[in-house]
């Protein structure tokens, strides 16, 4: 990721999210996604795919076309499936997404290591792909889970859930963690734990109220941006502006 980001001179990851539309209009949706990706490609380092295109288009023959297009443009592709199940199921989920060409997927550390995250990391290692873990989400309710005070199961001391997840990301050798741009103080704390060992991916810029510069100053390495680009009158201009405002860490 670091290599692609430097080459493209961009820290922006495009969240290719679209609002609900009639599932019969699948072809239009695919055309729209491909056309925005083409326009925006020079200004980003990766795409992130969530349920928005995956549910109507499916993976093989649908979203996979977008992943292939991203790769041809020299970009990486992250699957934002927030894997959150038992190990055997997680393994199958990871195998399908990696088979579709995704370079990394996002998983939820609440499931724990044994029979949870471990099979995902094993499959990732086998295919030389990445795993990114959630550490503190960008929405308000994140405080109820990621923000709660817990007794760490290993140290038996009181800590914040997100700091415990940050330490686990280091221990597991995660390729990144997700921390909302809406909570720069949490980015700062998590960055103190991770240093340069695990990069912070930060969604929540623009539509959710987070600021690009603030998130980067706090320690985010990549900005994940959806509506601010996708729903702009000129997605390429919006992406270029964000790229320019996020120049500092490169
Ligand atoms: P937008 O820039 O339009 O708010 O999109 C952000 C994207 O990142 C969405 O796909 C959302 O589901 C995802 N996301 C987020 O906003 N906050 C998180 O904490 C984790 C996410 O994956």
Q: What does the pLDDT look like over 132-162, one tens digit per residue?
A: 999 999 999 999 999 999 998 888 999 999 9
Residue 206 CB less than 6 A away from ligand 1: yes
What are the structure tokens assigned to 80, written together? 């934002």
What are the structure tokens assigned to 238, written together? 């919006």
C-beta neighbour count of 69 within 10 angstroms: 17
| Separation CA 175–CA 199 (nearest Å) | 7
Residue 136 CB less than 6 A away from ligand 1: no
Q: Exposed, middle or buried: residue 4 (CB in 10 Å: 0-12, 13-18, 19+)?
A: middle
What are the strands, taking DSSP E only, across the chain? 12-15, 46-49, 76-83, 104-107, 130-136, 149-151, 158-160, 176-179, 200-203, 222-225
| Separation CA 116–CA 213 (nearest Å) | 35
Q: Does 32 qualify as catalytic in the annotation? A: no
* CA-proximal residue: ligand 1, atom 12 (nearest): 50
Residue 156 backbone class (left: φ over 0; alpha: ψ -120 to 50; beta: rest): left
- Which domains are delineated in the chain? 2-245 (3.20.20.70)
Of 74, 46, 63, 73, the residue nearest 101 (C-alpha): 63
Specify the pLDDT at position 249: 47
* CA-proximal residue: ligand 1, atom 18 (nearest): 137
| Separation CA 249–CA 243 (nearest Å) | 11
* CA-proximal residue: ligand 1, atom 17 (nearest): 138
Dihedral angle sign, alpha carbons of residues 64, 49, 237, 35: positive
Specify the pLDDT at position 155: 85
Candidate of 162, 204, 222 to mutate for ligand 1, largest count of ligand atoms within 8 Å of Cβ: 204
Which of 82, 160, 168, 186 is flagged as catalytic? 82
Residue 226 CB less than 6 A away from ligand 1: yes
What are the structure tokens assigned to 225, written together? 């941006």
User: What's the DSSP call for residue 115?
Assistant: I
| Separation CA 56–CA 30 (nearest Å) | 9
**pLDDT tens-digit profile, the chain (250 residues):** 999 999 999 999 999 999 999 999 999 999 999 999 999 999 999 999 999 999 999 999 899 999 999 999 999 999 999 999 999 999 999 999 999 999 999 999 999 999 999 999 999 999 999 999 999 999 999 999 999 999 988 889 999 999 999 999 999 999 999 999 999 999 999 999 999 999 999 999 999 999 999 999 999 999 999 999 999 999 999 999 999 988 754 3
Q: Looking at ligand 1, which atom is closest to the CA of residue 136?
A: 19
């Amino acid at each position: 990721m670091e290599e692609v980001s430097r080459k493209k001179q961009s820290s922006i990851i495009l969240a290719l999210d679209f609002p609900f539309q009639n599932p019969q209009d699948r072809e239009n949706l695919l055309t729209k996604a491909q056309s925005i990706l083409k326009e925006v490609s020079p200004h980003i380092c990766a795409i992130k795919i969530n349920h928005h295109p995956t549910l109507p288009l499916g993976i093989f023959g649908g979203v996979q076309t977008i992943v292939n297009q991203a790769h041809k443009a020299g970009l990486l592709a992250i699957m934002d499936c927030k894997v959150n199940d038992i190990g055997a199921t997680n393994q199958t989920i990871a195998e399908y997404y990696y088979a579709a060409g995704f370079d990394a997927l996002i998983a939820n550390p609440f499931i724990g290591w044994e029979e949870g995250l471990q099979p995902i990391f094993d499959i990732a290692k086998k295919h030389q792909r990445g795993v990114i873990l959630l550490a503190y989400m960008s929405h308000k309710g994140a405080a109820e889970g990621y923000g709660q005070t817990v007794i760490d199961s290993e140290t038996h001391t009181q800590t914040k859930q997100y700091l415990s997840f940050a330490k686990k990301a280091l221990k597991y050798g995660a390729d990144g963690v997700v921390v909302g741009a809406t909570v720069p103080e949490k980015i700062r704390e998590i960055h103190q734990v991770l240093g340069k060992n695990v990069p912070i991916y930060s969604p929540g810029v623009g539509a959710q109220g987070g600021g690009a510069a603030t998130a980067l100053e706090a320690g985010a390495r990549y900005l994940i941006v959806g509506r601010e680009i996708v729903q702009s009158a000129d997605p390429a201009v919006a992406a270029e502006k964000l790229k320019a405002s996020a120049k500092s860490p490169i």
